[in-house]
Structure 1
Amino acid sequence: MFFVESLKLDGLGNRSYLTGGRGRAVVVDPPRDIDQVLTAAALRGVRIAYVVETHLHNDYVSGGLELARVSGARYLVPAGATVAFTRTPVADGDTVAVDDGLVLRALATPGHTPHHTSYVLEEGGRAVAAFTGGSLLIGSVGRPDLVEPRLTEQLARAQYASAHRLADELADDVHVLPTHGFGSFCSSAQAEGEETTIGAERRSNDVLNKDVDTFVADMLAGLDDVPAYYAHMGPVNAAGPVPVDLTPPRPADAGQIAERLAAGEWVVDLRNRVAFAEGHVAGSFNFEGDGKLATYLAWLIPWGKPLTLLADTPEQVAEAQRELARVGIDRPAAAATGSPGGWLREGEELASFPRARFADLAVALEREKDVVVLDVRRDSERGDGFVEGSVHIPIHELHGRLAEVPPGVVWVHCAGGMRAAIAASLLDATGREVVAVDDAFDAAEQAGLTRTA
């Protein structure tokens, strides 16, 4: 009897999988921090016999090479992927015996990358699960524009053909287990739900219900921005990632925090946005530890910039380290925990800024003359509606475009509050007077503030 255990990486919107039988198992697309994978295998009482990659990942650093080394497993990587380390190359149709009656079969599914490969788990000769990586997702497919702009349309058409191959070759009851699509920017559209089958996708997925030209045109028109750190992930994975170091960073006292800020380093406060707004070290930035920390911090920070973390507890720092290591930010320069008052030198005071709702913004626009409304959502979100008269600078562009924000009191909003808090902290650090709108965007319409293009 086979099992499949899903290992969730909610911050990045991905899944890794442990699958196998009574004694031996396979790990599909493992994360950088392999300890959780080893723990899952130990709890199952199985030996990891194979580690497999569906493709060279663009959105996170793989733990595959290290997991294979530590576990003694064979490392299966698509033959078309150019890598600098020893691995077992996998081509279409190749099979490996996992356990008694369990076989893993490689199935070429180019599109997300030219070499993308899915893996079909067969029990007693019958397909029971398909690990589809960045190919067929829940209600979507992996985006085709992360490799080379000139290849995007060609890969989009290949993605269409690959999805149809999966649907044609596999029965309706086969479970589809993608790596991307749970919030990852590697998905061409966001998934709905947590589980799916070939039959469910056959009924609802656009890629299986549109002609190729219509599907490709629609998908390409809907592709969103690509996080800047993606440019670093592919090369790291091709070179072979080094083992991750999750030991605690060097502690920083108030004087050292001030020195790091003065040197232009990034000091990031991981506390929730309410606590940050009420009081924080002037010049620090707020990236909530329980938000999409890895995605947005890695997207905004200049690559290689020294990073100091501030948090309530050492456990919050440790969790942030784990998240950041998954995207190649390996070692914070320093960290401090406790209350924000302890991060200040004698005589210094905490900075703060107000939070508000869209209803408050509506009142301010009626009564005050120097209100600047800053929308930091992505282009695709703004296309569905925006606050009339607002300035639009997507959050991932704001740090380099701060000078474009008009003078006045800046009321900054996003779709729910998290990105607005990041943006407010960036503006506050430059001395701007700012109000963070901590509200769902639906409330802007209710307040009579929105219009559509």
Structure 2
Amino acid sequence: MRIETIKSDGVAHLSYMVIDGNAAAVIDPRRDVDVYLQVARREGANITHVFETHRNEDYVVGSRSLAAVTGAEVFHGRGGQVDHARPVEEGESFDIGKARLTVLETPGHTFDSISLTLADRNFSEAPVAVFTGDTLFIGDVGRTDFYPDRREEMAEKLYDSLFGKLLPLGDGVQLYPAHGAGSVCGGGMADREFSTLGYERRFNPRLQLEREAFIRAKSGEHHYQPPYFRRMETLNDRGVEPDALPRPAALPPGPFGERRDEGLTVLDLRTPEAFCGAHIPGSLSMPTAVAPGYIGWLVSYETPLGLVLDDDADLDRALRELYRLGYDRVEAYLTPGMTAWEASGADYGVVPTVSAATLKQRYAQGDDFLLLDVRAIDEYQAGHLPDATHIYLGHLADRLEELPRDVPIVTFCGSGKRAAVAASLLTRHGFTRVENCLGSMAACQAVGCRIVD
């Protein structure tokens, strides 16, 4: 009997396979399901059960695709029936060899949230592990803001699920959540992927709160809901048909430029440093580290996409990460990259960069510029540079008219990645005096910039 963890970078998604003998179950599969088929073949197992712990908002699930190619049955909590799955309720059990998965209804993050306990029937019916979906994370608990007019009710449900269902399973029970650090589904997750219920009971900050304090804290949390969440919900309600990854054309500079002129949206997935040094005019900087959290705010699902990469070898990973977010219209990529574009004689753009030390000096000299801080509101409120203008990156495209065009604008975030996205968005819309502060807040703290709250 074994548990296989499949991690999807970008969205920080964790899915699992429970395997015993020649039987296997998959919990919360991602859209590109080939990884589960490969593991099953390697282990000589058949995938017979697929479980969804809730309707996901941040990525496309692969349950329907996996069922189509394996014949497995799909199961989903009865609190939110979906077209492609059979609803399950509290206490239902499913045997995977000698492993037994049992349903716990754990609403709070969503009404349909379930958790699955795992027992090893070779020894006991008592649970040895629990798969908690988005109800309990390592270092945090699930969001409760998807029903804005019912925040308090959802916080109450989450508390009852945590303290009435999960923690009583026992301190030694291993914890397997559906997301890790970096996910948009929580803000304080630990940067590790192993824990127990006992450890979380003692050290998870949210689990230290009494009931009323917990409800107040969760009801008052601020989370952003990218527009693409609604598309994910629609796709995941009905389940996506099995399909293959996009097969974009490899285009040299001339044809790639022609496609851009015809309406291709160019996504530059390289580092901020590379983008600022030279980029295709009109392209949107979208470093892979921040793309899952922000592409849905800035890029339409209807537009054809062309990619610029650091290396052609990065293409498969980029396609998979976009595919999991529902972006299927990737039609081209530039080969062999920006070096070829530059060598072709085609025009290219640059974004001047500003070091934290230079920024500190500009403040001391009283230079005339606008510092545009595009971090989340909680980051901004925890500390920002004096007189900074705060506009969350996801909202920037709708608030460009608030920014002046006659003074330099320095884009700023936590490290410079989101600032690069903001700088590219500004230049696409005709702002000509744009600079990016590489390192941003991390660098400013290192050099002793004045920070206010």
Residue 285 (1) aligns with residue 287 (2): no
User: Aligned AA for 2:434?
Assistant: V
Do the aligned partners of residues 397 and 220 (structure 1) sit closer, same or farther apart at CA in structure 2, a change above 3 Å counting?
Answer: same
Do the aligned partners of residues 158 and 98 (structure 1) sit closer, same or farther apart at CA in structure 2, a change above 3 Å counting?
Answer: same
2:22: which partner in 1? 23
1: CA distance between counterparts of 2:44 and 2:418?
A: 42
- Whether the aligned pair in 2 keeps the contact of 1:249 and 1:332 (CA below 8 Å) is yes
Instruction: State, as a whole percentage, how many aligned pairs show the same letter.
Output: 33
Shift in Å at residue 105 of structure 1?
0.4
Give 3-state SS (helix, strand or coil) of 2:242's partner: coil
Give 3-state SS (helix, strand or coil) of 2:333's partner: strand
Residue deviations 1:398-440 (CA, integer Å, cap 9, x gap): 1222232223222111101111111122223324222211115
1: CA distance between counterparts of 2:263 and 2:329?
A: 18
Shift in Å at residue 219 of structure 1?
2.1
Give 3-state SS (helix, strand or coil) of 2:220's partner: helix
- Whether the aligned pair in 2 keeps the contact of 1:12 and 1:292 (CA below 8 Å) is no
Shift in Å at residue 155 of structure 1?
1.2
Give 3-state SS (helix, strand or coil) of 1:383's partner: helix
1:95: which partner in 2? 93
2: CA distance between counterparts of 1:209 and 1:31?
A: 32
| The 10-residue stretch of structure 1 (365-374 or 419-428) with the greater mean CA deviation from structure 2 | 365-374
What is the 5 A alignment of 1:17-416? Answer: 17-85=16-84, 87-100=85-98, 102-124=99-121, 125-146=125-146, 148-187=147-186, 189-262=188-261, 265-289=264-288, 291-343=289-341, 348-367=346-365, 369-406=367-404, 407-416=406-415
| The 10-residue stretch of structure 1 (108-117 or 197-206) with the greater mean CA deviation from structure 2 | 197-206
1: CA distance between counterparts of 2:7 and 2:228?
A: 21
1:13: which partner in 2? 12
Aligned length: 448
2: CA distance between counterparts of 1:265 and 1:397?
A: 23
- Whether the aligned pair in 2 keeps the contact of 1:279 and 1:351 (CA below 8 Å) is yes
2:439: which partner in 1? 439
Q: What is the TM-score of this pair, normalised by structure 2?
A: 0.93
- Whether the aligned pair in 2 keeps the contact of 1:15 and 1:180 (CA below 8 Å) is yes
Residue deviations 1:165-185 (CA, integer Å, cap 9, x gap): 234531211101000242211
Shift in Å at residue 298 of structure 1?
2.4
Shift in Å at residue 303 of structure 1?
3.7
Q: What is the TM-score of this pair, normalised by structure 1?
A: 0.93
2: CA distance between counterparts of 1:84 and 1:365?
A: 58
Shift in Å at residue 26 of structure 1?
1.1
User: Aligned AA for 2:311?
Assistant: T
User: Aligned AA for 1:111?
Assistant: G
Residue deviations 1:196-246 (CA, integer Å, cap 9, x gap): 111111112244332222111112323321222111111110011122421
2: CA distance between counterparts of 1:90 and 1:69?
A: 20
User: Aligned AA for 2:218?
Assistant: M
User: Aligned AA for 1:228?
Assistant: P
Where does the alignment leave 5 or more consecutive residues of structure 2 unmatched?
none
Give 3-state SS (helix, strand or coil) of 1:136's partner: coil
1: CA distance between counterparts of 2:444 and 2:167?
A: 46
Do the aligned partners of residues 196 and 4 (structure 1) sit closer, same or farther apart at CA in structure 2, a change above 3 Å counting?
Answer: same
User: Aligned AA for 2:330?
Assistant: P
